[in-house]
């Protein structure tokens, strides 16, 4: 079986295509000054219900 662009197959694993669409929601938030505005992060999490949250500082 040939892989499609952007994917790879491991020869030791059996390949079967996924029949159910799966989505993940990612949110990135700059925590610089978070102490002054923790309510903003809480509101974003409540609104978007992300699966993964990336915290960064610039």
Mean pLDDT of 14-37: 83
Q: Which domain holds residue 47?
A: 26-56
Say what the pTM is. Answer: 0.56
Report the pLDDT value the prediction gives residue 28, as an integer from 0 to 100.
Answer: 92
Mean pLDDT, range 20-39, rounded to an integer: 88
Q: Is 2 part of any domain?
A: no
- In this prediction, residue 10 carries a pLDDT of 63
User: Residue 53 forms beta bridges with which residues?
Assistant: 27
Top pLDDT among 32 and 1 is at 32
Query: Quick check: is 7 in a domain?
Result: no
- Identify whether 9 is part of a domain: no
Domain contains 37: yes
Q: Count of domains in the chain?
A: 1
Task: Assess if residue 20 is contained within a domain.
Answer: no
Q: CA 49 to CA 43: how far, in whole Å?
A: 10
| Residue 44 clears pLDDT 80, i.e. is over it | yes
* Long-range interactions of 45-54: CB distance < 8 A, separation 24+: 49/25, 50/25, 50/26, 51/24, 51/25, 51/26, 52/24, 52/25, 52/26, 52/27, 53/26, 53/27, 53/28, 53/29, 54/26, 54/27, 54/28, 54/29
* pLDDT value, residue 43: 94
């Amino acid at each position: 079986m040939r892989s499609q662009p952007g994917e790879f197959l491991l020869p030791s694993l059996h390949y079967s295509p996924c029949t159910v669409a799966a989505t993940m929601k990612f949110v990135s938030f700059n925590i610089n000054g978070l102490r002054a505005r923790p309510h903003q992060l809480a509101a974003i999490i409540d609104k978007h219900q992300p699966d993964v949250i990336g915290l960064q500082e610039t």
